[in-house]
Amino acid sequence: MRKGAAGGPAGARRARWSGLPPRTIRARLALFYCSAFSISGALLLGITVGYWQSTTGTRATAASPARGPIGVLPGPRLGRLNQVAQHTSDSRQLLIAAAVALGLTVALSVAFGWLAAGRILRPLRAITSATRHISATNLHERLNLCGPQDELKELGDTFDDLLGRLERSFQLERQFVANASHELRTPLTTMRASLDVAMAKPGPPPPQLGTLARRLRRELDHIDELLESFLTLAQAQRGELADEMPVSLDRAASTALERRANAIASLRLHVEQEYCPAAWARGSPTLLGRLVENLVDNAVKHNQDGGWVHVRSYALEQICRLVVENGGAVFGQDQVSDLARPFRRLGSERTGSDKGTGLGLSIVKSIAEAHGGTLRLCARLGGGITAVVDLPMAPQPPVAVPR
């Protein structure tokens, strides 16, 4: 049990809080180069020093005279002692010089190993960087790694092939959704025309027929709204922003609130809008207008009688922000975060609802990501939802918003 604690999550937490740098592959490769060079250098210097000592020691012994009888002058013996002392001093100096040289070469091997590991791992860093920022809206990008046909080049080419297959798959899926939405509009128009012709016949229609006609019209309107949402979602996911231009978030929010004036009045909602004249985003006016309309529509529909809606815009350093808050029932953060997925509704999964198609916030998220922005949904403690959209700031936006 203690072994698992030492090598499991607890050990990882201790290593994270110890202040040590992360053990990256580059650091491990540099350490491996340094260790291999240090061991081989130490062995080579040890063999050289040992061979030198044995050779010079043998020469010193052979050059020194044999010990004579008692009473012989101590000159030869003194010469031998001097040679031994000189040999010992030379050995010490050689060892010191060898240690200094080994230390310098070890330091150089660390720097060389770090640079060599970085050079070798450069393709992996390119792959990691591309993987982080490539999403469904920019699958057309490729790594196009240069260099010899080695394992890393093969890995990069394989990743490019994977991106190509994903791009074709996404394109086929979006094209199918767009084509199906267009094709379904024709029979729906025919059904609506047939219904109008049937109700326009002389004489009052039976009450059951009138009730059925009103219900069919509501369902046809719902299907039309759903098909329009499909087309907008497919366009946003393709990232088609041919009509890019500065868009005022204040003006888009005011327009969206005006279009929902009847629903706001029927629910007796208190609406408050805070303006920021510098909040101009660059993108498609059609898609960004739909983004703001969906946020306002979601805040109005998922509200309560006598509730409130607050719309605020901000201009930060490189981004402009739109915040739409509304009151309502209390929900958990897990429930609210799941609303950006298609066909997700509060209180119901894929069942029918008279509060929309279940695609509103997913369209907002797709449009924001197509413009390089983000969508965040937060549950309010007092009830309701806070939606925050960050979009890239338009370069040199106008300073005033005509209202």
pLDDT of residue 350: 41
With cut-offs at 50, 70 and 90, classify the pLDDT of residue 125: confident
Q: With contact defined as beta carbons under 8 Å apart, do 177 and 230 qualify?
A: yes
- Say whether both 215 and 251 belong to one domain: no
Q: With contact defined as beta carbons under 8 Å apart, do 290 and 256 qualify?
A: no
Please state, in angstroms and rounded to a whole number, the distance separating the CA atoms of residues 219 and 365. Answer: 26
Q: Is residue 213 part of a domain?
A: yes
- Say whether both 273 and 183 belong to one domain: no
Q: Which domain holds residue 173?
A: 151-237
* 98 backbone dihedrals φ, ψ, rounded to 5°: -65, -40
- Say whether both 273 and 377 belong to one domain: yes
b/e code 268-296 from CB counts within 10 Å (16+ = b):
ebebeeebbebbbbbbbbebbbbbbbbbb
With cut-offs at 50, 70 and 90, classify the pLDDT of residue 281: very high
| pTM score, whole prediction | 0.53
Q: Is residue 78 part of a domain?
A: no
b/e code 148-183 from CB counts within 10 Å (16+ = b):
eeeebeeebeebbeebeeebeeeeeebeebbeebee
- Say whether both 275 and 344 belong to one domain: yes
The domain boundary, picked from 237, 265, 288, lies at: 237
The domain boundary, picked from 237, 259, 276, lies at: 237
Return the minimum-mean-pLDDT range out of 152-156, 194-198, 229-233, 257-261. Answer: 229-233
- Say whether both 313 and 289 belong to one domain: yes
Task: Give pLDDT tens digits for 185-199.
Answer: 778 888 888 888 777
Please state, in angstroms and rounded to a whole number, the distance separating the CA atoms of residues 214 and 220. Answer: 10
* 150 backbone dihedrals φ, ψ, rounded to 5°: -105, -165
Q: Which residue has the higher pLDDT, 278 or 21?
A: 278
Q: Is residue 304 part of a domain?
A: yes
E strand or H helix at 233: helix 207-238
- Say whether both 322 and 359 belong to one domain: yes
What phi-psi label fits residue 384: left (phi over 0), alpha (psi between -120 and 50 degrees) or beta?
A: left
- Say whether both 218 and 284 belong to one domain: no
User: What CATH number should be reported for the domain holding residue 294?
Assistant: 3.30.565.10
Q: With contact defined as beta carbons under 8 Å apart, do 313 and 274 qualify?
A: yes
With cut-offs at 50, 70 and 90, classify the pLDDT of residue 84: low
Q: Is residue 100 part of a domain?
A: no
Please state, in angstroms and rounded to a whole number, the distance separating the CA atoms of residues 272 and 295. Answer: 15
User: What CATH number should be reported for the domain holding residue 216?
Assistant: 1.10.287.130
- Say whether both 175 and 260 belong to one domain: no
- Say whether both 247 and 297 belong to one domain: yes
Handedness of CA 163, 168, 171, 177 (dihedral sign): negative
Question: How many domains does the chain divide into?
Answer: 2
- Say whether both 212 and 353 belong to one domain: no
- Say whether both 184 and 248 belong to one domain: no
pLDDT at 279 over 50: yes
Please state, in angstroms and rounded to a whole number, the distance separating the CA atoms of residues 218 and 354. Answer: 10
- Say whether both 175 and 266 belong to one domain: no
Instruction: For Cα atoms 72, 73, 75, give the angle at the middle one, nearest 5 degrees.
Output: 135
The domain boundary, picked from 196, 220, 237, lies at: 237
Q: At what angle do helices 360-370 and 207-238 cross, to 10 degrees?
A: 20
Q: Is residue 50 part of a domain?
A: no
Q: Is residue 125 part of a domain?
A: no
Return the minimum-mean-pLDDT range out of 33-37, 95-99, 133-137, 216-220. Answer: 133-137
